[in-house]
Amino acid sequence: MLGETPRNRMLEREKIPVEDLLREIKENKELMLKVLKTLSESTQEKSENSVERFFMNLGFSREFSLLISENMPLQAAEDEEAMKSFLKRYIKKHIHVKSFDKYRTELLPRVVSLVGSTGIGKTTTIAKIASILHLYRRKNVALFSIDTYRIGAIEQLEEYAKILRVPFEVIRNPEEVAPALSRHSSSDYILVDTIGRSPKDSLEIVKLASYLSAFPSTIVFLTLAANMKLVDMLSAYERFSSQIKISGVILTKLDETDDIAPALEFLMRTGIPLVYVTTGQNVPNDIMEPNVEYLIERLNINGSG
C-alpha cells in the first residue's frame, strides 16, 4: 500500500493487475501480427495480379495466365524483361511442332485427311499441300473429296486437281473408299478433303468418322483458323477428337489476325502438334512449316510493354 499522498492515491486507483497487463500486451502483439500478415499478403497478391495481367494483356485467358504465373519462378516476376523471357521459354517448351514428313504410315499410299469447321480453309490448304508434294517434290498425289451431303460442293477441289494435273475422286459413301484406293494404289500420297455443314452437328462428325474409318489408315489433321475464339477451337477439337483420332493441327488464316494468343494457348493446352500454318489465299505460296520463334514474334511480346 502506498502512502496517502494525492499522487499515490491516483496511482492506487489506476493500478492494473500484472495478468491483465500481460494479456493486453499479448493481444496487442497478436493484432500487430495480423496487420503485418494482411499487409504482406496484399503486396504478394498485388504482384501476382500484375504478372497475371501481363499475360492477359497479351491475349491469354485469365485461367491460362494464372497457370503461367504459377509456373513462373518468383525472381522472374520482378521485372518485365524477365517475365518476357520466361514466357518465350514457356511457349517454346509447350508448343509442339511436327513436320508433315514426320507423319508416317505403315501402309502406302500415305493417306492424309483434313477435317474442321466450315469455311476454315481445308480445301485451299489441301491444294497448297498437294502443290508442294506434286510440283516441288515430284510425288504422285491423288485428291479425294468426301462429300457427306451429296450436295456437289466439290468443284473447288476438282478445279485444283485439274490445274495440278492430279487425279481426283469423289467419295459418296464409305463403300466407295476401297475401290477408290485400289485405283490409286501407286500414288505416294492421297489427300482427303472433307465437306460438311455445321460441325456443331455431332451426327455429321459421326458420319464423317464412318467414312474415314473406311480407310485402312489415315493421318487426320484438324484445321483451325487463327482468328477463331479459343473456346471455339477447344470445342472443335473436343467434338472432332471424340470420334476421330486427330494427329495434328493446321492453323489457317494467320494473316487475318493480330491476336494469335488464343491459337498458341490452344496448342499449349492440348499439346497437339502443329503441322502447318497458312498465311493467305494464294495457292501454293501461302503456307509454311511452323516456326515457334515466328509465332512468338507474332505475339508481339516486346511491343506489349
Here the cell at position 141 is 498425289
Chain position whose Cβ is nearest to Mg ion = 123
Beta-bridged to residue 250, according to DSSP, are 223, 276
Is 192 or 264 the residue whose CB approaches Mg ion more closely? 192
Q: Nearest to residue 262, comparing CAs of 230, 221, 238?
A: 230
Considering the rule CB under 6 A, would residue 256 count as an interface residue with ligand GTP?
yes
CB of 229 to Mg ion, least distance (A): 21
62-71 helix and 18-57 helix, angle to the nearest 10 degrees: 110
Q: State which residue, 44 or 281, has the beta carbon closest to ligand GTP.
A: 281
**DSSP string covering 48-99:** HHHHHHHHHHTT--HHHHHHHHHHS-GGGGGSHHHHHHHHHHHHHHH--B--
Q: Which does 281 bind (CB under 5 to 8 A by kind): Mg ion, ligand GTP, none?
A: ligand GTP
Give the CB-side neighbour count of residue 4, counting CA atoms within 13 A.
0
Q: From Mg ion, ligand GTP, none, which one binds at residue 152 (CB under 5 to 8 Å depending on kind)?
A: none
Question: Which residue, 12 or 155, is less far from ligand GTP as judged by CB?
Answer: 155
Size of the site for ligand GTP (CB under 6 A): 18
The one among 69, 123, 145, 243 contacting ligand GTP by CB under 6 A = 123
For cell 455431332, name the residue. Answer: 202
**124 lines the binding site for ligand GTP (CB under 6 A):** yes
Name the residue among 144, 149, 145 with its Cα closest to residue 204: 149
Question: Which partner in Mg ion, ligand GTP, none is near 218 (CB below 5 to 8 A by kind)?
Answer: none
Report the interface residues with ligand GTP, using CB under 6 A: 118-124, 156, 195, 252-253, 255-256, 278-281, 286
